[in-house]
Structure 1
Amino acid sequence: MRDHHRNTSNTVKSTDWRAFLHLIRQSEPPKLILGIALALSIISTLVGLVIPLFTKNVVDSFTISSLSTGKIVGMAGAFVAQAIASGISVYLLNYAGHHIVAGIRDRLWKKLLVLPVSFYDQNKTGDTVSRMTNDTSVIKGLITEHMTGFVTGIISIIGSIAVLMYMDWKMTLIMFSVFPIAFLILFPLGRQMYKVSKGMQGETASFTSTLTRVLSEIRLVKAANAEPVEYKEGSLGIRSLFRFGLKEGKIQAMMAPLISFVMLMLLVVLFGYGGMRVSSGAITAGQLVAFMLYLFQIVMPITQITQFFNQAQKAMGATETILDVLDHQEEDPYTGDTVTNAAQPILLENVIFGYKQEEPVLKGVSFTMDAGKVTAIVGPSGSGKTTLFALLERFYSPQAGSIRLGSDSVERFSLESWRSQIGYVSQESPLISGTIRDNICYGMQREVTPEELERAARMAYADVFIQELADGYDTQVGERGIKLSGGQRQRIAIARALLRDPKILMLDEATSSLDSKSEIVVQQALNNLMQGRTTLVIAHRLSTVVDADQIIFLEKGRITGSGTHEQLLDHHELYREFAEQQLQHQASSAAH
Structure 2
Amino acid sequence: MSNMRAPDSYCSLLALLNYTKPYWKVLTLTLLSMTLMAITELMLPVLLKIIFDDIFILNNYALIQLIPLVILTLFAVHSTANYVGNYTTYWVGNKLLINLYIRAFEKPLTLSTYYSTDIINNQLIQKFTTEVAEINKTIVGVITILIKDTLTIIGLLLWILYLNSDLALLTLLILPVIILATQLINKRLCIIEKQKRETIDENTQALQKSIENYRMTVLYGGQQHEILHFKSGANQLYRLIIKQFSTRALGTLFAQVILATILTITAYLTIQHAPVSGNTASNLISFIVAALILIKSSRRYANVDQLLQYLIITTQSIFLLLNRRKIPDTGHIVIGRTYGDLQFEQVNFHHASETKVTLDNITLTIKSGETVAIVGTYDLSKIALVNMVGRFCCPSAGRILLDGQDLANIELTSLHANISLVSQEFMLLNDTIAANIAYGAMNTAVEAKIVTAAHAANAMEFIRKLPQGLQTLVGRYGIELTEGQKERIAFARALLKNSPILILDEAILTMDLDSEYHVQVALNTLIRDRTTLIIARRLSTLKKASRIIVLENGRIVEIGCHQELLAQKGFYTQLYQSSLQLPK
The question of a shared fold, defined as TM-score above 0.5 by the shorter chain, is answered with: yes
CA distance in 2, matches of 1:90, 1:481: 40
Question: 1:40 matched to which residue of 2?
Answer: 33
Q: Decide whether aligned partners of structure 1 residues 28 and 337 sit closer, same or farther in structure 2, where only a CA change above 3 A counts.
A: farther
Residue identity matched to 2:518 = V
CA distance in 2, matches of 1:235, 1:491: 51
Q: 498, 503, 507: which is aligned to 2:504?
A: 507
CA contact (8 A) 1:430 1:481 kept: no
CA contact (8 A) 2:259 2:292 kept: no
Unaligned runs of 5+ in 2: none
Deviation at 1:312, TM superposition (A): 1.8
CA contact (8 A) 1:28 1:103 kept: no
- Range 21-30 or range 181-190, more displaced: 181-190
| Aligned pairs (5 A) from 1:439-458 | 439-458=436-455
Deviation at 1:134, TM superposition (A): 2.8
Question: 2:360 matched to which residue of 1?
Answer: 363
Question: 1:147 matched to which residue of 2?
Answer: 143
Question: 1:322 matched to which residue of 2?
Answer: 318
CA distance in 1, matches of 2:455, 2:164: 92
Question: 2:413 matched to which residue of 1?
Answer: 416
Deviation at 1:122, TM superposition (A): 6.7
Question: 2:349 matched to which residue of 1?
Answer: 353
**Is 1:437 aligned to 2:439, yes or no?**
no
Deviation at 1:252, TM superposition (A): 0.8
Deviation at 1:325, TM superposition (A): 0.8
Residue identity matched to 2:45 = P
Residue identity matched to 1:23 = L
CA distance in 2, matches of 1:41, 1:318: 25
Deviation at 1:431, TM superposition (A): 3.2
Question: 1:403 matched to which residue of 2?
Answer: 400
CA distance in 2, matches of 1:542, 1:57: 94
Question: 2:335 matched to which residue of 1?
Answer: 339
Question: 2:554 matched to which residue of 1?
Answer: 557
- Range 348-357 or range 566-575, more displaced: 566-575
CA distance in 2, matches of 1:239, 1:478: 44
CA contact (8 A) 2:483 2:509 kept: no
Residue identity matched to 2:433 = I
CA contact (8 A) 2:203 2:233 kept: no
- Range 378-387 or range 91-100, more displaced: 378-387
Secondary structure at the residue paired with 1:384? helix
Deviation at 1:546, TM superposition (A): 4.3
Residue identity matched to 1:321 = S
Q: 21, 46, 62: which is aligned to 1:28?
A: 21
CA contact (8 A) 1:352 1:398 kept: yes
CA contact (8 A) 1:431 1:480 kept: no
- Range 170-179 or range 313-322, more displaced: 170-179
CA distance in 1, matches of 2:513, 2:150: 76
Residue identity matched to 1:25 = N
Q: Deviations over 1:194-225 (max 9, x none)?
A: 43345557778x679979xx89xxxx969998
CA distance in 2, matches of 1:330, 1:234: 48
CA distance in 1, matches of 2:27, 2:233: 41
CA distance in 1, matches of 2:488, 2:214: 27
- Range 561-570 or range 246-255, more displaced: 561-570
CA distance in 2, matches of 1:317, 1:202: 19
Q: Deviations over 1:399-448 (max 9, x none)?
A: 11111102112222333332332222344534344443343233344323
- TM-score, structure 2 length as denominator? 0.83
| Aligned pairs (5 A) from 1:28-177 | 28-62=21-55, 63=59, 65-67=61-63, 69=65, 73-74=69-70, 76-114=72-110, 118=115, 120=117, 123-131=120-128, 133-174=129-170
Deviation at 1:368, TM superposition (A): 1.0
Q: Decide whether aligned partners of structure 1 residues 234 and 318 sit closer, same or farther in structure 2, where only a CA change above 3 A counts.
A: farther
Residue identity matched to 2:409 = R
**Is 1:313 aligned to 2:309, yes or no?**
yes
Q: Deviations over 1:465-507 (max 9, x none)?
A: 2222334334444459993223222211111211221211122
Residue identity matched to 1:89 = G
Q: Matched residues, percent identical?
A: 25
Question: 2:187 matched to which residue of 1?
Answer: 191
Q: 345, 364, 371: which is aligned to 1:374?
A: 371
CA contact (8 A) 1:24 1:100 kept: no
**Is 1:517 aligned to 2:510, yes or no?**
no
Q: Decide whether aligned partners of structure 1 residues 403 and 525 sit closer, same or farther in structure 2, where only a CA change above 3 A counts.
A: same
CA contact (8 A) 1:511 1:523 kept: no
Question: 1:8 matched to which residue of 2?
Answer: none
Secondary structure at the residue paired with 1:416? helix
Secondary structure at the residue paired with 2:164? helix
**Is 1:490 aligned to 2:487, yes or no?**
yes
CA distance in 2, matches of 1:399, 1:480: 43
Secondary structure at the residue paired with 2:303? helix
- TM-score, structure 1 length as denominator? 0.82
Q: Deviations over 1:113-144 (max 9, x none)?
A: 3356546457432531431x332233322333
Unaligned runs of 5+ in 1: 6-11
Deviation at 1:301, TM superposition (A): 0.8
Q: Decide whether aligned partners of structure 1 residues 530 and 35 sit closer, same or farther in structure 2, where only a CA change above 3 A counts.
A: same
Secondary structure at the residue paired with 1:559? strand
Q: Decide whether aligned partners of structure 1 residues 472 and 370 sit closer, same or farther in structure 2, where only a CA change above 3 A counts.
A: same
CA contact (8 A) 2:108 2:114 kept: no
**Is 1:296 aligned to 2:289, yes or no?**
no
Q: Decide whether aligned partners of structure 1 residues 349 and 245 sit closer, same or farther in structure 2, where only a CA change above 3 A counts.
A: farther
Deviation at 1:29, TM superposition (A): 4.5
Q: Decide whether aligned partners of structure 1 residues 226 and 453 sit closer, same or farther in structure 2, where only a CA change above 3 A counts.
A: farther
Residue identity matched to 2:248 = Q
| Aligned pairs (5 A) from 1:559-574 | 559-564=556-561, 568=565, 573-574=570-571
Q: Decide whether aligned partners of structure 1 residues 417 and 236 sit closer, same or farther in structure 2, where only a CA change above 3 A counts.
A: farther
CA distance in 1, matches of 2:486, 2:66: 80
Q: Decide whether aligned partners of structure 1 residues 333 and 309 sit closer, same or farther in structure 2, where only a CA change above 3 A counts.
A: same
Equivalent pairs counted in the alignment come to 568
CA distance in 2, matches of 1:79, 1:480: 49
